[in-house]
Structure 1
């Protein structure tokens, strides 16, 4: 079976509110560090601060706390709420150095929307706030180099935000495509299972019809030959009973499956066709060694059709996959038995060569067939060799 490995959707590492609280604390720490560094640089002894500068520093502190508290609103999924809070944060930066980290976050967030109206509005407000800060805040001055640096920072934050927005759009697009592929693959697998169930139902219908014909034949023979010996009559009656019991079990299984009366399908491949399967694989260039347990060989004629078909289909599917994916490697087919059932093991070395034939849904159908036969299967690489193993109970 050919499948497409798809990455799972990546959930958030932390809940949204936990991230918001962490960002508030981080921005508060960054803002406090920048604020106290600036104050200590301007007033090393923290004394003799003029009243005007003291008032501005108090306003800086209050606005810094406000911008930190507005961070969760800037992260809101509602654009108007986030945009309004972001504009307030940017405006507060005119009188607050403490709000630096919050302003960077607001500019990047609004830029990530790639909405021209919001982008022009927040940039104009940021430039105006920067000019006011240069004119008003202690230790600042309005100079051309400082203005150029401010414009460069704003432009850089815009580019960073737009890059993040574009990346987010691409990630969402890829995630949607992956989800679509998952749904399509699930539908394809379900269709393959349904087709296999239909095939099995048709095969069981054919064998059930055969068994009913056997019952009818022997019952009719008893009705026209009442003079048969008692032992012969007893054997015939036992045969009718066993055949009827088997037919009843197969009918019960048949009622669980769908049947399409309009299409033609070949008779099922059973373990009795093992020699023909091996001959066909060898004719395709495959080097196959087969080992059939004597107990299985002795049971070939008496195996229930469902069990025999599951085992035969396992051998055929395993060899078909070897022809597709490892045509140059030797293959071993081992069929063993115990008191509970029979096991088929198809093993081959891993090959770098591939036939180029497209993969289908054979393993899906095989798994469905084994499940309905109350069996199980596994496949994969073990010890550098690929293995396909299936077990089916005798009854």
Structure 2
């Protein structure tokens, strides 16, 4: 076997199974640093051995065996590490025994433990998302740094601090018990959702989207749903992400310009993802106590099912936003509901609702709030006010394709080819 083919095999296993290896070793030894080091060592050994011996029938098992041996060797060489790990292991075993419940023994692999360790409430949301991208999605530290738009050295320090906090606070590598899961699961789902949001609509940069982040978020949602098949909100999140991501190919034109929903070529939407999302929505919505991700997935399904923008079932979408506003009230949900009301009842009705939200500081800092007002004001013929609203949106967005969209709309309102003092 050539070295190139062996390297390709190692890379494939690394991409698919690195998270499983890390989770297995972190759960076994209670130390994420040690797990990461020995996984890297095992991969290096594979690059040396597989070109000579061939790729084993069970690559993951081979890598796990090598990594375990290397971990034990390190522990034997370092008594301080051994003592610390022994204490952590005893504590983790006690904690796991205290929360042992029927059903949790059937989890197919250890990634769920790692998921909840990375998303422990003792960690900041930024630390949670960084750890998930690094250890569960398999991104390198420079790739995670690009996702957060910070230097690689800065992100490396953040990840080190987060791992140190896990170690020093003795955060156990375990699945929360049934009594804890309702409080812990939303944080894990939220972290995945935030990764997808940044991937689907980048907060800054030259591209409208970050497809790499969107892909990783969908992958993480699939892992979480697979490991917690009975959790309806995990299914609802996956449904929401695939139904939204189904429109990706239609969101930019050949020149890289943003294409708004009403102008998109719906034949470019991914029919397989839409079908998958629609299948997932049913169990996510079935039963008492529907969750916010399931409701948002139902809204996304209505958009995807419409044969045209004009044929969208806006009354049903408004009704679903009413539900969402009751179970998860927020200015952003109210903004989206106001836009849907404008589509159902006309721009004046939507604008009244938007103006009623103008006191929310969160929305005053949100470029799409001002863009929505500009659109409705423009439809009502209030050109000067619409232009001011587009200028406010321009001042708040760092995404170049979105800026270009606002500039084109502003130019159409004012009759100028470009906004004074701003280039493209």
> Which TM bucket (shorter chain)?
under 0.3
TM-score computed with the length of structure 2 as normaliser = 0.19
Structure with the bigger RCO (C-alpha within 8 Å, sep 6+) is 1
Bigger fraction of residues in strand? 1
Look at both structures and tell me which one has the larger radius of gyration over its CA atoms: 1
Q: Which has the higher helix share?
A: 2
TM-score with structure 1 setting the length: 0.21
